[in-house]
Each structure stands twice: as structure tokens, then as C-alpha cells.
Amino acid sequence: MDNTEELKDQAALLEEKKAKSFWYADWSFPIIVGIMSAAVFAGTHMYVTYGVGAFNEVSIVAMLKAGLDGGSYGAAAAFGASFLFARILEGSLVGILDLGGSILTGIGIGIPAIFLSMGIHAPIDNFAASLLTGTVLGLLVGGVIILIRKFTINQANSTFGADVMMGAGNSSGRFLGPLIILSATAASIPIGIGATLGALVFYIWKKPIAGGAILGAMILGALFPVALK
């Protein structure tokens, strides 16, 4: 009986520590998202300014590059913004924020494309402004997720379609492999060969070919770098 009471006291003490801990607090979540978003948005600034530094897949960055070259940011803006909106809802229900869809694609590609399409260049052209903009956007995204969660999932014990939502991205990700290979081939022939060989190795290994294509492109890209203008 004494052991049971002691275990209950220890569990209560642990819960109390969690409630006071920065890593378990709801208010710390927007801060963490803000820090990551600042880095990603600054990476987009580096890409727009110097041609390197974007935090995303080759195929998605190619959408932004197409806008920079041709002046039409519709594809990057629509794709990135839709990903961001979907991941905000998913994060609220699941309790896990998908960084690739929300921060890398949404904040790193979608929102900069929207800014550029509106003729707003200051947050992207200036490094300090990009850090500040990314921080504010991350705080907003994290705050919205916590706010939605307070009024939805916290009121029940079920996560509804969370299992389906968490598997959707993994299932659709297998179709990115061919797009990555095409993008790598467009960059240079050695990088394209590396992406193809990497995808082949991962296919034989029965792993997603997108990962192999990225690794193969990175390895041969390091050996045969593309000259930047």
C-alpha cells in the first residue's frame, strides 16, 4: 500500500515538473517554431541572393527558381501556401508539426513566393529582415496551432483521422523520386547520373528512391560542382 502511494506521489511530482518545464510547455512551442522558421527564411534569402542555401527538396526549390527566372511565382506560392495550411491543421490534430511541409515548404518557399509576386522584396533581399520575418511567421504558425488545439483536440481523447494524416505524406513522397532525378539532370549531367544511381541503389535496397536520388546527387555534385555565375 505504501509503495502504491509512493508511486502516485512520484507520478504527480513528474507531471508537475513537466508542467513547469520549457520543453513541455505550450508557450515554448511557438518560440521553437519561430527559431526554425527564421533559419529557413534566411536560407531562402541566401538562395535568392547567392543561388545557394535554400532548405528544401530540389524539385520544390525549382518552383521558386522558375519564378525568379520567369517572373511567375504562382506555382511556388500555391504549392507552398497549401502545404502550410494543411500542416497547420494536421499539427493541431496530431500534435506533431511536419517540418518539411510547414516550415521548409510553406514558410521557406510558399510565403517568399507570395511576397515576391506582390512586389515585396525587402523581407527576402535583406538578411536581417529575413530573420525577423521568419521569426514572426514561425511565432504565428506555432501560436495558431496551439490555439486550434486548445479548442479542438484538448476537449476529447481521440485524434480522429490522425493515423491517416500521418501516413499521407509518406505515401505521396514516393512519387517525388522521378521529379528529383529530372531536376538533378537539369542541373548537370554528373548530378543527374548520381541521382539515378542513388535511386537505383535505394530501389534494390527496397527503400524510398527519393532519398537515394538526393544522396547520389549530393555526392556527385560535390565531386563535379556546378559553376555559379
Looking at 160, 194, 210, which one is the last position of a domain?
160
CA-based torsion, 40, 91, 95, 163: positive or negative: negative
Which residue, among 62, 43, 63, 45, has the nearest Cα to 53 in the 3D structure?
Answer: 43
Contact 213, 179 (CB under 8 A): no
Domain match, 145 and 124 both? yes
Cell numbers of 160, please?
480522429
Domain match, 70 and 51 both? yes
Looking at 160, 176, 211, which one is the last position of a domain?
160
pLDDT in tens, the chain (229 residues): 456 777 777 777 777 776 677 777 778 889 999 999 999 999 999 999 988 888 887 878 888 988 888 888 888 888 888 878 877 877 766 666 777 778 888 999 999 999 999 999 999 999 999 999 999 999 999 898 888 877 765 555 444 444 444 444 555 556 667 877 887 888 788 888 998 999 999 889 887 787 888 888 888 888 888 765 5
Residue range(s) defining the domain that contains residue 206: 162-229
In a domain, 50, yes or no: yes
pLDDT of residue 83: 79
pLDDT of residue 162: 42
Number of domains in the chain: 2
Classify 39 in phi/psi space as left (phi over 0), alpha (psi -120 to 50) or beta.
Answer: alpha
Domain match, 65 and 120 both? yes
Domain match, 140 and 48 both? yes
Domain match, 111 and 146 both? yes
Domain match, 130 and 183 both? no
In a domain, 1, yes or no: no
> Distance (Å, rounded) from C-alpha 200 to C-alpha 208?
10
pLDDT of residue 21: 75
Domain match, 37 and 94 both? yes
In a domain, 9, yes or no: no
> Distance (Å, rounded) from C-alpha 29 to C-alpha 116?
29
Per-residue exposure over 97-136, b if at least 16 CB sit within 10 Å of its own CB, e if not: bbbbbbbbbbbbbbbbbbbbeeeeeebbeeeebbbebbbe
Domain match, 39 and 73 both? yes
In a domain, 213, yes or no: yes
In a domain, 156, yes or no: yes
Domain match, 180 and 152 both? no
In a domain, 46, yes or no: yes
In a domain, 84, yes or no: yes
Domain match, 128 and 229 both? no
Domain match, 222 and 172 both? yes
In a domain, 16, yes or no: no
Looking at 116, 135, 160, which one is the last position of a domain?
160
Contact 109, 44 (CB under 8 A): yes
Domain match, 40 and 83 both? yes
Query: 3-state DSSP call for residue 73?
Result: coil
